[in-house]
Structure 1
Amino acid sequence: MTDPKLNAPSDVDDDDVDAPVRPRRKGIYILPNLFTLAALFGGFYGIVMAMNGRFEQSAYGIFCAMVLDSLDGRVARMTNTQSTFGEQMDSLSDMVSFGAAPALIMYVWALQGLGKLGWIAAFVYCASAALRLARFNTNIGVVDKRFFQGVPSPAAAALVVGLVWVMDDAGYTAVHTNPQLAWVAFGFTLYAGLTMVTNVPFYSFKDVSFKRSVPFIVIVAIALGIALINIHPPSVLFGVFCIYGVSGYVVYAYRRMKGKPVSVIATSTDEPDEQGLHR
């Protein structure tokens, strides 16, 4: 005997059963993205100031963007507000603040006096920043976190804009009409750009933990460092980033001489803590 319940019409529409469940929309975390937007504004501000011939203010914008860019990721991790949207927003902000902005600032300041070679150097820097950011995003799971693969784009921007800041503070104006300084700017721009896309390891400072206790002398050293910067911020900051800008090549040469691996790409993605790095 057939159960009448089996032949009874169902109250549920077949279209409703087969229809895919729409994913729930995710919101955007405000706090870390505010830092990212502020960093983006710093890069945009630097471009606008350079267009108006105010190069010192341009440097302020880029260096402020550097500080804000270093904070947004830490804020996201501290508040547990990491998101894919935030990662993509951070990369786009970096491209403007540390890729396009320094290239345009340097071009307006000095490189336009070199004609085609000037804008080619600016483009090489801008393209290198884009390539470096794309490589960073794709290799993030296989790179030794203690090192950057090539100089990071904020440090490259500090090399380029730091030169502008130091020379402008020293009273040099209309640099694009001075061939000697224009060629110096040309060299700095190419060096910073090409160093971004090398495989040379640069220390990332990511293994420095702010949650651990440190000896008292460390706090004293930080206070002295702040005092030293205040003596003459353009020269001191530019000098620090110049040292960092060549440190990777020193580490590379040292590893080569000792016969140690120099690549920052780990040999296995299954062992993120692996000590060995292949050449």
Structure 2
Amino acid sequence: MRRELALRTIPPNAITALALCFGLTGVRFAITGEWQNAVGAILVSAVLDALDGRIARMLRADSRFGAELDSLSDVIAFGVSPAIILFLWSLSFVPKYGWVIALTHAVCCASRLARFNSQLDAGNPKKSAGYFTGTPAPAGAALALLPLILWLSTGMEIFQRTYVVAPWTIIVALLMISDLPTYGWTSFRLRKGWRQTALLLIALVGTSLFIAPWPTLSALIILYAVMIPFASRSYAKVTRRVAAESLPS
């Protein structure tokens, strides 16, 4: 019997493939020294990565193939590509150790995604509560590229120095494979009275991304980094509340 493939399965997988292509295009721009375009390609890849899963669920086109393709795309777009970009931009000034540090980011990203895939069929208490285990791959790529984005924003050469980029890259790599809970979209709860304020902030941030993209991106990434310790405390509160509710009355 001939097996046919539903057309609704094509759009999410096509978006995933497009995210992979944008990630590799970032490397192409880095080779020619077009750093703004290199970072922009990675950011577009992150946006596409955020869309493919939601579109798959909306179209009821979830599949094991799509999940595997998404992970492979993430390894390349958020692991390999940022590592090469950082090496070409800064870490190449110490070629031997710089390349090892770049590899650390790529390997930790791959390890994180392998751990994620291994837990697809198993229960994950952090995920069920709306939190991630460790820094997600797109956020890890953004954090790793923060020195480059700060350099584009300020023009200060200190952000390109290897003694700044190298330890920061290692810290971000370790955050990706850590067991620290980090915020996910579903972990946030917005009070009704804050709806208008949230819409105003989103509009202002969106406008700022067009007017002053690099300072705005720098501020958003720094804000995310500052929120990581608060996510651990927030998750601890959630687990205590769940434990209290499960106790017999």
The interval holding the TM-score normalised by the smaller chain is 0.7 to 0.9
Residues 26-105 of structure 1 aligned to structure 2 (within 5 Å): 26=5, 29-105=9-85
2:123 to 134, 139, 142: 142
Greater helix share, 1 or 2?
A: 2
Give 1:218 shift: 3.1
> Which entry has the higher C-alpha Rg, 1 or 2?
1
Q: Secondary structure at the match of 1:202?
A: strand
8 Å Cα contact 2:112/2:176 also seen in 1: yes
**1:78–1:200 distance in 2 versus 1, CA, 3 Å:** same
Q: Deviations over 1:120-160 (max 9, x none)?
A: 11111111000110111122332222111001110110112
Q: Give the match for residue 125 of structure 1.
A: 105
1:153 equivalent to 2:148? Answer no
8 Å Cα contact 1:151/1:245 also seen in 2: no
1:275 to 239, 242, 248: 242
Q: Unpaired runs of 5+ in structure 2?
A: 245-249
Name the amino acid aligned to 2:144: V
Give 1:207 shift: 5.1
Name the amino acid aligned to 1:202: T
1:166 to 150, 157, 160: 150
1:232 equivalent to 2:223? Answer no
Q: Give the match for residue 90 of structure 2.
A: 110
Q: Give the match for residue 198 of structure 1.
A: 178
User: In structure 2, what is the Cα distance between the partners aligned to 1:114 and 1:42?
Assistant: 28
User: In structure 2, what is the Cα distance between the partners aligned to 1:233 and 1:77?
Assistant: 31
Q: Deviations over 1:34-56 (max 9, x none)?
A: 21111111101001111111111
Moved more, 188-197 or 163-172: 163-172
**1:40–1:23 distance in 2 versus 1, CA, 3 Å:** same
**1:91–1:276 distance in 2 versus 1, CA, 3 Å:** farther
Name the amino acid aligned to 2:214: P
**1:197–1:223 distance in 2 versus 1, CA, 3 Å:** same
- Equivalent pairs counted in the alignment come to 238
Name the amino acid aligned to 1:158: A
User: In structure 2, what is the Cα distance between the partners aligned to 1:47 and 1:245?
Assistant: 25
4+ residue runs over 6 A deviation: none
**1:40–1:75 distance in 2 versus 1, CA, 3 Å:** same
TM-score by length of 1: 0.75
8 Å Cα contact 1:156/1:193 also seen in 2: yes
8 Å Cα contact 2:26/2:38 also seen in 1: yes
1:188 equivalent to 2:163? Answer no
Residues 2-21 of structure 1 aligned to structure 2 (within 5 Å): none
User: In structure 2, what is the Cα distance between the partners aligned to 1:163 and 1:56?
Assistant: 13
User: In structure 2, what is the Cα distance between the partners aligned to 1:186 and 1:58?
Assistant: 19
